[in-house]
Amino acid sequence: MIHRDEVLTVIWRKSSYSAPQGSDCVELGELRGGVGIRDSKSPERAQLNVTRGQLRGLTSRIRSGGI
């Protein structure tokens, strides 16, 4: 379970592959026991919280063209 206070204090990082004014960017934030993923254009909207294993699986599928 992710606590609200933890989400408010997360340091979000955008990919170094993102253009400064990029329109399709996500940000990642380290959480206790997981990783938060959010849309950099709309940071106030909901975020997706996943485990590190789930994030590894997702990035692996993206790299292989499976998504």
User: What string of DSSP letters covers the chain?
Assistant: ---HHHHHT--EEE-TTS-TT-SS-EEEEEETTEEEEEETT-TTS--EEE-HHHHHHHHHHHHTT--
**Does residue 19 fall inside a structural domain?**
no
**Does residue 34 fall inside a structural domain?**
yes
Confidence (pLDDT) at 49: 92
Global pTM reads: 0.73
Confidence (pLDDT) at 55: 95
**Does residue 18 fall inside a structural domain?**
no
- Per the structure, the count of domains in the chain is 1
Confidence (pLDDT) at 37: 92
**Does residue 17 fall inside a structural domain?**
no
Q: Which residues does the chain have with pLDDT short of 50?
A: none
Contact criterion met (CB below 8 Å) for 12 and 27: yes
Confidence (pLDDT) at 2: 53
**Does residue 49 fall inside a structural domain?**
yes
Question: Which residue range forms the structural domain that includes residue 31?
Answer: 4-11+25-63
CA atoms within 13 A on the CB side of 56: 4
